[in-house]
Amino acid sequence: MGKLIKRGNLYFPDKEFKKRAWINNNSIYKEASKNPIKFWGKLAKELYWFKKWNKTFAHKPPYFQWFQGGKINISYNCLERNLEKRRNKVALIFEPEPLGEREIKLTYYELYRKVNKTVNALKKLGVKKGDRVGIYLPMIPETIISMLACARIGAIHSVVFSAFSSNALKIRMQEIDAKVLITCDGYYRRGKIINLKDGADKGIKETKIKKVVVVRRASNKIKFVKGRDCFFDDLIKEQSDYCKPEQMNSEDKLFILFTSGSTGKPKGIIHTCGGYSVQAYWTAKGIFDLFDDDIFWSTADVGWITGHTYSCYGPLLNGTTFVLYEGAPDYPSLDRWCHIIEKYGVTTFYTAPTAIRMFEKEVGKVKENLKTLQLIASVGEPINEEAWKWFFAQVGKEKCPVLDTWWQTETGGILITSLPGVGPFKPTFAGMPFPGVQTDILDNKGNKVKANQKGNLVILPPFSPGILRGIYKNPKKYKKTYFGEYGDKVYFTEDIAYKDKKGLVRIVGRADDVIKVAGHRLSTGELENIIDSNNKVAECAVVGIPHKIKGETPVVFVVLNPKKKATEKDILKLITEGIGKIAKPQKIFFVKDLPKTRSGKIMRRILRKLFTGEDLGDLSTLANPQTVDEIKKKIKK
Ligand code: WTA
């Protein structure tokens, strides 16, 4: 196994590392940037296409397409493509949360059979190509099976994070007119059984969902609606174990995943069959250096994009064995995640800064030697230097590169990170754009900024194959959000970043109202909408403030309706019912007024600064500067 060589504050892979890596030569960046379209075209050929594309990239700003005319199926590529060489290799290892329960291992062949049976079951329920299927499931094998089954017949899956509330489920299912929902009775979280079916029952009211498929997981008591509900295992039991995969057009929709943006409503991000497959396959392979002897563990829940790309499709497309863990990483004790790494000999560990900070604080020194680890990686929010160094020293034992991977729900796969066989690894810097990806950092006028100057991170044509193709039913929002800042040929990421002199990118944070709470993407606007919807509330403002472990946490300011009373409990209830516990604010302040400009715009920036201690700037331009003092006093109390 390789070593890392330290030069100044940079780390480089040694010869051994380079020897093992898929990408070990700097020249790939040059080759790719000379002709990124050709570069991606070459990579795409490694997947199986029923019919080869006739045009690699077509651009009609703000829209673009990849592999036009090509026909592909991602489930075929995850399953059949691996059967010849890896039929009996373990595809996924399911680690249940309860310690007394045995793990489940599914080989590629077993997974293939289960997916096919599930496809036939879905067909029996009337699911066809193009139909939308909701998946409201935790981290269990049936979640992966369901996603692959949908993909196999060209039904568009939309996974909803199992910790989201029934209301959040409802809004999403309504938006896409889902026909069928796949859910489960319950699942384990920190030793308790969460009754998910109950949430599903509430969430599908007022939607077009006609059939509910229920996975038996925790055997908890549920309400069973005859004629509408059926059990997953009963349904697939009698099905045959083969169903021909649909030959999907490269640009057909593969899935819709909702994410938060600046406004109140979540956006249904569209990903397509060809481009996403290529991005997921090649980024998983090239960045995590997947080989046949690897055991890959991404802790991300499938309810988020990281879970889609690296807890499901990416490893399967590469024929890798990966771990799927049901529960909390610190349950029943803080060493659970170390035990999982040791139990299965995990070689690549992908997690989020919030978990790293939590373990740094709670564990301090990691006594397990974690000797099988070769790569460790982070995603979701900026990783601070202290957490980086702790991760590097305590988990990677100073021998594993730390891959700080930057990307978004919208990009489908990782776009910026240092590569294991190339480096360099620099604390808090994500690194270089992935070969074939062109990014830039621009000022507000659209000029390139100099090294070490902050600006807006943008992605330039040909973007990359995995980038979103639209927002479901909302082309206007697509154009405005991503192509509104610098014209329709420049994708604006809404992130602020800068480059060092070597061109390594450091992500500073978001430019919009999106906050990252424990790595989960939430919008302050969405929270405000939920709180404002209550008639006891006159208006409110939500801001994200720094938090030592979670990165950020919401703080709520509420102005009550003069004639009505609401308590902290009422507001909390609105939030947990509207989104879920993950959005629980650090603090709720009832205030008389909110700081506003003369045109009536709420100055959230000022509210935020009251917590960070930053200079508040000139307050005289406000319509009501005295409110700032009043709020300051409240916060101090
Ligand atoms: C942030 C998660 C700093 C960023 C894959 C981005 C990061 C948003 C990093 C997308 C990173 C993601 N360093 N910030 N390595 N990775 N982000 O859609 O602000 O949940 O725009 O996708 O997370 O969040 P999303």
What's the CA-to-centroid distance between 516 and ligand 1, angstroms? 8
Per-residue pLDDT at 67 = 98
- Joined together, the tokens standing for residue 77 give 């590529």
Buried b / exposed e across 285-324, counting CB within 10 Å, b at 16+?
A: bbbbbbeeebbbbbbbbbbbbbbbbbbbbbbbbbbbbbbb
What's the CA-to-centroid distance between 408 and ligand 1, angstroms? 5
Q: Which of 208, 225, 253 is the last residue of a domain?
A: 253
d(CA 120, CA 70): 25
Please, what sign has the CA dihedral across residues 42, 45, 46, 47?
Answer: positive
CA dihedral in degrees (430, 432, 435, 437; nearest 10)? 80
Closest CA to 91 of 149, 151, 141: 141
What's the CA-to-centroid distance between 511 and ligand 1, angstroms? 12
Q: Which of 260, 283, 379 to mutate to test the pocket of ligand 1 (most atoms within 8 A of CB)?
A: 379
Would you call 166 helix, strand, or coil by DSSP?
helix
Residue 434 resides in a domain: no
What's the CA-to-centroid distance between 381 and ligand 1, angstroms? 5
What's the CA-to-centroid distance between 520 and ligand 1, angstroms? 9
Ligand 1 — pocket residues by CB below 6 A? 259, 304-306, 379-382, 404-409, 430, 493, 495, 507, 510, 516, 521
Residue 147 resides in a domain: yes
Q: Which of 253, 284, 306 is the last residue of a domain?
A: 253
Residues 91-104: tens digit of each pLDDT: 999 999 999 999 99
What's the CA-to-centroid distance between 523 and ligand 1, angstroms? 13
Nearest CA residue ID for atom 25, ligand 1: 408
Closest CA to 168 of 203, 121, 210, 129: 203
Residues 169-194: tens digit of each pLDDT: 999 999 999 999 999 999 999 999 99
Least confident of 11-20, 346-355, 463-472, 593-602: 593-602
Residue 236 resides in a domain: yes
Query: Residue 265 burial (CB < 10 Å; 0-12/13-18/19+)?
Result: middle
Q: Helices 166-176 and 196-203, interaxial angle, to 10°?
A: 50
Residue 343 resides in a domain: no
Residue whose pair of structure tokens reads 């549920």 in the numeric block: 222
HSE at residue 132, side-chain half, CA atoms within 13 A, is 21
Closest CA to 380 of 349, 347, 410, 405: 405
Q: Which of 237, 253, 269 is the last residue of a domain?
A: 253
- Domain at 596, CATH number: 3.30.300.30
Nearest CA residue ID for atom 11, ligand 1: 406
Residue 522 resides in a domain: yes
Give the amino acid at 159: V
Nearest CA residue ID for atom 24, ligand 1: 408
What's the CA-to-centroid distance between 379 and ligand 1, angstroms? 7
Residue 375 resides in a domain: no
Residue 528 resides in a domain: yes
- Domain at 146, CATH number: 3.40.50.980
Residues 241-294: tens digit of each pLDDT: 999 999 999 999 999 999 988 777 899 999 999 999 999 999 999 999 999 999
Q: Which atom of ligand 1 is nearest to the CA of 405?
A: 15
The count of structural domains within the chain is 2
Q: Which of 283, 298, 454, 507 to mutate to test the pocket of ligand 1 (most atoms within 8 A of CB)?
A: 507
Residues 579-613: tens digit of each pLDDT: 999 999 999 999 999 999 887 888 998 999 999 88
- Joined together, the tokens standing for residue 211 give 């059939």
Who contacts 148 (Cβ-Cβ below 8 Å, separation ≥6)? Answer: 74, 75, 78, 79, 111, 115, 118, 312, 316
**Domain coverage including residue 608:** 518-636
CB 564, CB 590: distance < 8 Å: no
Residue 625 resides in a domain: yes
pLDDT, mean of residues 146-157: 98
Distances in Å between the Cα of 121 and the Cα atoms of 214, 229, 234, 236, 394 are 13, 13, 10, 6, 47
